[in-house]
Amino acid sequence: MNKELLEIINHFESLGEDFVVGNRNKIKIIPYNDVILNIKSFKVPSFINGVIYRFFRKSKAKRSFIYAKVLKDNNIGTPEPIAFYENKTWLRLLDSYYICEHLEVDYVFKELFNKDIPQLDEILRQFAHFCFKLHEAGIEFLDHSPGNTLIKKRPDGTYDFYLVDLNRMKFHKKMDFTTRMRNLRRITPSEYMVKVISNEYSKLYNKTETEVFEEMWKHNVLFHKKFDRKRQIKKRFNIK
């Protein structure tokens, strides 16, 4: 990491503007030369996890950077990776940071749920092609949720898709049908959207439209039932 970026990390809290502030992590956007940086600050892990990240496992920041490079190598959209930084002692990891180029986009996938978008079907069909390409590359994006896909419209009317929040992935020589469908279980609770995505995905894969929809919808329903149960338990016991 060059001195300018290190200086930005050292003054992270006082620079730029907040983009996302969560319970665990924070994202800020900060001007840097001729680009806008998107810097994700990962929460300091517990002592035990800090030791694990120091000696036995790559930090979330480092994994984000490495996986972004893997996506780029496979021509799969993600904001341009720039660097990562780990603040650590001889014993444990403290805070860490992933730096990429900030993208201005038209939609985050989750925004498709509540907006009247005339091109919705076409976006979903192109998204199916994007997911198929991801799966063909053997990449299982474990956080494939509606908040982690950015959508940008091109001048010719087609759409580019970009994955973010990259620190959890699995890699396969070849992804089987069940793994592919399970990987899409979180993307939308809408049966209509699943039908459109599965219809287009079936054109690219050696399964019928019915087979693709039924497998994708099965995993979708199981996931959202489990999610709703967890939410109700947290609400009941006032767990945040």
Interatomic CA distance for residues 12 and 176, integer angstroms: 43
For residue 139, the model assigns a pLDDT of: 98
Q: Mind giving me the DSSP string for 109-178?
A: GGGGSSS--TTHHHHHHHHHHHHHHHHHTTEEETT--TTSEEEEE-TTS-EEEEE---S-EEE-SS--HH
For residue 24, the model assigns a pLDDT of: 82
Q: What average pLDDT values come out for the chain (240 residues) when binned by 10 residues?
A: 93 93 90 95 96 97 98 98 97 97 96 89 98 98 97 96 97 97 96 97 97 97 84 66
For residue 240, the model assigns a pLDDT of: 59
Burial class (CB in 10 A: 0-12, 13-18, 19+), 212: buried
For residue 35, the model assigns a pLDDT of: 94
